[in-house]
Amino acid sequence: MIYPIVKLGDPVLERKAGAVTEFGEELKKLVEDMFESMYAAHGIGLAAPQIGISRRLAVIDVTFKEDPEQKLVLANPEIIHREGRQKETEGCLSIPDFRENVSRAQHVRVRAQDASGRWFECTGDGLLGRAFQHEIDHLNGRLYIHHLSALKRDLMLRKIRKLQRAGEWK
């Protein structure tokens, strides 16, 4: 099932999501649906709040279907180490048609549970490291615009409000 992506302005995106506590068939189905919804929206990462579900769950595939082994499910993820700095252009499925340079750690180590509830650790550099930080931010009610200068953020928000008023932000 493909879920519609929730856009900036919906309060679910700015709420801290609740822990995943049940690791059964329902969660596996949700994970499948999240990958399907992410690919349909041409994304490389998707957090559950972006489909209106306030749970600490995210899926990532920085290869976009190229390498199924790179598909990652992160339940209750936490960043346990960060190092270095990178500044690259970033977008978000919940803020379509906008991109901005965002400063992030270059290298992060994450601890999370998989779809079966097993804890694991993994490391991400560059794009994968960026995806980890971006998706975990979503679970804490933060969007990349919160990393921009107030000036840039206000400019973007003004443009978005204009689109909302014109009925072009759904």
**CB environment 3-27: b (16+ within 10 A), e (fewer):** bebbbbbeebbeeebeebeeeeeeb
In the complex, what is the shortest distance from the CB of residue 93 to Ni ion, in angstroms, rounded to a whole number?
A: 6
Q: Which residue is nearest to Ni ion (CB)?
A: 92
Q: Output 72 or 92, the one with its CB closest to Ni ion.
A: 92
Smallest separation (angstroms) from Ni ion to the CB of 134: 5
- Nearer to Ni ion by C-beta: 23 or 140? 140
Give the shortest CB-125-to-Ni ion separation in angstroms. 19
Shortest spacing between CB 138 and Ni ion, in angstroms: 6
Tell me if residue 78 is catalytic.
no
Nearer to Ni ion, 92 or 110 (CB): 92
H or E element, residue 51: none
- CA dihedral (162, 89, 41, 147) positive or negative: negative
d(CA 147, CA 71): 26
Q: Interface residues with Ni ion (CB under 5 A)?
A: 92
Which one of 90, 121, 135, 168 is the catalytic residue? 135
Tell me the C-alpha distance between 143 and 153, whole Å.
11
Nearer to Ni ion, 23 or 53 (CB): 53
Q: Where are the alpha helices (DSSP H) in 62-149?
A: 126-139
CA torsion sign, 124 to 126 to 90 to 170? Answer: negative
Catalytic residues: 135
